[in-house]
Amino acid sequence: MSQSQETAGDPVKGGFDPVHAAWFFPLFVLIFVGAFRAFFPSLAEKPELLWFDTALQVRAKAGFAEPLDPTIRFVEFKMNEEMARRFATQGEYATAAGILKTLAELKVRAIALDIIYTYGLEEDQNLLASTIREIEASGETSVVLPISLEKGADPPYILRSLPAVEGDPFQIGVVNAEEGHRWRKYRRADTFEGETFPSLALAALAADRPAPLRPKATSPGHMEWKVIGSNGKPITKSVDDSTVLLNIPHSFNDGSFDRAAGITQRVWSVEELEAFAQQPEGADALRDTIFFVGYDQEVDNKPNAHGKQEAGMFVHGVALNDLLHNRAVHTLPLWQDLTIYAIVTMVVAILFSVIRRKRWIIISALGGIAILLLFGWLATWFVCQLPDSILPALIWSGAVVLEIGRRWTYEQRERTQRDAMLGFYFSPAVLKQVTKDLDMIRPQGTSFAILLSDLRGFTTFCEAQPVERVFELLNRLFGVETDAALRENGSLARFAGDQFLAYWGAPEPCEDAPDRSLRASIEIQKILAEHRANPKDDIDPWLKIGIGLHYGRALVGHVGSRSYRDYNLVGDSVNTTARVESQTKNYGAPILTTGEFMEALKMPVSSFQVDYVTVKGKALPTEFHAVVLEDTPENLSACRAYENAFALYKEGSFEIAAESFRVLRDHPFETVATSARMLTERCDELIAQPPEDWTGVYTLTSK
Amino acid sequence: MRFQRILCLLGGVFALFSVHSGNAEEANATLYIVDQSPEHAEMGGACIPYTPLEKPGENRELLAFAKGPAGSTIVMLALQGDAVYGGLEPVITKMTEDSKAARFPNPESEKKWAFTEKTPKVDLYVLAFTEGDPQLEKIGEYLEWLKDSLKEGDDETAMLHTHAIKNRLSNIMRQQSTDSYLETYGDSLLANTDTIVGEGKAAVTRGATKNLLQNEDTKPSAAVAAVRRGLKSIDAEWKEDSRAIKFGLNSPGLLVFPITTTP
């Protein structure tokens, strides 16, 4: 990813482009999830509650479930044959009264009934009521009766226990708990028509305390009581009518917990309790405990957080435990959850800005999400707080998905741009290789076959023709050259004025680079010759070029600045090729090559050495070879004659060589004729001023 | 060197077993009705071991004695329901070699524990803790706070402390299995009260109380003669009427005297 990716605005268009902004998608997801949390709280809490469930279950399965307070016990009314017989013979109310008496005999401190006795006969209600009053008169055991706030009824009403009984009111507790949340949610105090009622759990706690110390309503929906703080001073505890999450320690149906705990067992059947009360050892084992009495799960089945069906009284027992030990789990206020979201978003945005590789984006996201989810569990287990962890994890994962998409889009754009750019340089076959392996276009030094052409008479044409025609000429020429070079899998280096530079040997290695470059050169010259021979307009006659070919070591790679780059060829070989090309008109050669090129060439070609010189600016001599495009017998014969003359010239027999060249000056083969004219003049010059140390190499004084 | 280490390890293990080997220590406690009638003036008052059958009277008051081995701590506390009875401060006494029996009510306090017909139902808790028992630290802290509250006359705070203490006492009783409970207090605790009185045993526990719902009044009987001792010489004699309380580390001894008056 390049630095420009961090720039959000498109410098060309001036508008905002999210593909260039690492922070945009985390912020986008934050706003989306934050709005979801704020406007759809009941939907947003569901995944958090599921995660909370998982935390409870994992803790229980790991064996770290907190046992309930030892004072909290349960009696289940199992609807078995014995209970059916008692109901038939004694009646339901008398049976309940009998259980209450048994519990009182066992010195139980408080009994909270989770059965609303409301529709019985008046005498049955009075019987149960008198038993309760008798028990409470002992001063050792208190009884709490349940009520249900039927707020959804029309009109709303309170379903009370023992409504037909007159006299002093009983202690009461609300048994309503929110359905549909697997009994995690609990309201510890509730209000109805301005009056505040304790939940059954809070009422049981009250019954366990002396009257002056019982919770009292201080304002609607708000109840307070005092306990001793760690410094021995009284502190005030309070609950309100908001909901908390119960810290359900385990399933009470799971026998591995309390049911197998002998006489101190947690859940008792009526028969077990009555039998225990008959034993002398029952005297103190259950004294001062708090019993919840209700029907068993078969009758009063409620789904708990562990996915079990259990009696509803367990919910109140757990709520009491949470009250006694401050173990109720609280959700965080909206602003705190939103703060967590914001922090997560910030971290994610920073990571996106810092991390370059997609792999590490995903790995860091997996780690971060795991930390978030674990954070939710730890907060639940150890500090009884339930921070949102699923939604922040959703922010992170959503941001990662969008970030990957963003990077993919960005890369696609870059790839498209790069392909467009590279497609200009390389043939489709080479481009295919390059796009598969971008390392191919890393800077490298190797041997290249280099083709450089130059338009003859371009300056004259420019002076005489309008601009449009100049460019028409150039584009027509470059079109021919480009097509020919690319057909031979060549790479284009540059167009500079009327110059065209192509090369073979990189980025893809090319064993027959000289052959390919020569084939391209011949094709170019033949096409241009055709244009000249059959001109469609007055531009075609100007399509005359000289091509220089050289084979040697050069460097290729990206050069330029951040704002403009070019994949280009540099090195001495390029300069040599330029020197060769500049000599084509002196020798009348459409294609002039160096000796190195001819040595590397594998394909057969008709050519002949036209000269052996040291070009300007170079120390070592270079052979010039002219390629014969029309290898007619006459041309080839002329070439042999020229070569013979050139051999004499190299030996220093300038006079004989001059005569031989002179014969060829008017030969129809233009290359031979032009070269012979130049060599004739040079021989005359050398005859006039013989060189001291002739080695066959002539030094050119101009480019 | 290695041998010494092994010896040290074995010694440590042995010490650990010694400490956790159950109720290794024993304290004693008893409760008297002290009759201050003029006819007992010579004795400084007659000390009659308490039974529920003993008749209350204007000249009668209750006095408890308890003593443990040196290093142990004796705690005595009278509760009426969830409140300290009659403002009687709890007694916490650390026993030394020279210690006399701890008395309740505290003799240094001017408050007496009258045993009259108006005396309500009260429970006297006698606890014995061995040295270093972590439960003593917790209960002791609450007891000190309770004493401060009583001195300050802060009834509500005192009740809060009392409630916390009572919960701890209930826990102690519940934590002891039935077997160890019997072992601590003896089979006779579960036997008929009359038998206990006849044998001169003074204390009863909640395990021997009647079913409250049966509401069977127990008639006082002057014919139930008890051993009578003089208050002046009681320090030397109280132990003969006492009941043993076994205790150990993490297993404090607890004896409850439920005081009821029968007019």
Give the 3-state DSSP-derived string for A530-555, with helices as H, strands as E and coil as C.
Answer: HHHHCCCCCCHHHCCEEEEEEEEEEE
Would you call B157 an interface residue with chain A, using a CB distance cutoff of 8 Å?
A: yes
Would you call A100 an interface residue with chain B, using a CB distance cutoff of 8 Å?
A: no
Whether pLDDT at A198 is above 70:
yes
Would you call A235 an interface residue with chain B, using a CB distance cutoff of 8 Å?
A: no
Q: How far is B211 from chain A (nearest CA, A)?
A: 6
Tokens of A570: 């540099």
| A183, A114 contact by CB (below 8 A) | no
Please check whether residue B77 lies inside any domain of the structure.
Answer: yes
Tokens of B28: 């004693």
Instruction: Give the mean pLDDT of chain B.
Output: 74
Residue A512 is classified by DSSP as T
Distance separating the N- and C-terminal Cα atoms of chain B: 74
Would you call B125 an interface residue with chain A, using a CB distance cutoff of 8 Å?
A: no
Among candidate residues A477, A524, A506, the one with its CA nearest the CA of residue A573: A506
Would you call A290 an interface residue with chain B, using a CB distance cutoff of 8 Å?
A: no
Q: How far is B8 from chain A (nearest CA, A)?
A: 35
- Which residue of A140, A284, A320 to mutate against B (max B Cβ within 10 Å)? A284
Q: Which residues of A touch B190 (CB under 8 A)?
A: 280
Please check whether residue B80 lies inside any domain of the structure.
Answer: yes
Q: Which residues of B touch A281 (CB under 8 A)?
A: 178, 181-182
| CATH architecture of the domain with residue range A426-629 | 2-Layer Sandwich (3.30)
For A1-48, the pLDDT digits (tens) are: 333 444 444 444 556 666 677 788 888 889 999 899 889 988 998 899
Among candidate residues A541, A530, A520, A534, the one with its CA nearest the CA of residue A473: A541
Q: Do A280 and B190 touch (CB under 8 A)?
A: yes
Instruction: Give the mean pLDDT of chain A.
Output: 87
Would you call A222 an interface residue with chain B, using a CB distance cutoff of 8 Å?
A: no
Average pLDDT over residues A385-410: 91
Q: Lowest-confidence range among A200-204, A422-426, B258-262?
A: A422-426
The residue range of the domain holding B199 is 23-259
Q: Lowest-confidence range among A144-153, A249-258, A601-610, A635-644?
A: A249-258
Q: Which residues of A touch B176 (CB under 8 A)?
A: 284
Q: How far is A316 from chain B (nearest CA, A)?
A: 20
Total tally of structural domains belonging to chain B:
1
Asked whether the ipTM of the predicted complex exceeds the cut of 0.85, the reply is no
Ramachandran region, residue B187 (left: φ > 0; alpha: ψ -120 to 50; beta: rest): alpha
Q: Which residues of A touch B122 (CB under 8 A)?
A: none
d(CA A701, CA A216): 115
d(CA A328, CA A384): 6
Number of Cβ within a 10 Å radius of residue A279: 11
Ramachandran region, residue A490 (left: φ > 0; alpha: ψ -120 to 50; beta: rest): beta
Residue A159 burial (10 A CB sphere; 0-12, 13-18, 19+): middle
Number of Cβ within a 10 Å radius of residue A620: 8
pTM for the complete prediction? Answer: 0.67
Would you call B168 an interface residue with chain A, using a CB distance cutoff of 8 Å?
A: no
d(CA A247, CA A384): 8
Average pLDDT over residues B131-158: 90
Q: Which residues of B touch A228 (CB under 8 A)?
A: 142, 145, 157, 160-161, 164
User: What b-and-e string marks burial along B145-162, b requiring 16 or more CB atoms within 10 Å of the CB?
Assistant: bbbebbeeeeeebbbbbb
Would you call A228 an interface residue with chain B, using a CB distance cutoff of 8 Å?
A: yes
Q: Which residues of A touch B187 (CB under 8 A)?
A: none
For A265-311, the pLDDT digits (tens) are: 788 899 988 988 887 665 677 888 999 999 988 888 888 877 788 88
Please check whether residue B219 lies inside any domain of the structure.
Answer: yes
Identity (one letter) of the amino acid at B73?
T
Question: What's the length of chain B?
Answer: 263
Confidence of residue B199 (pLDDT cuts 50, 70, 90): very low
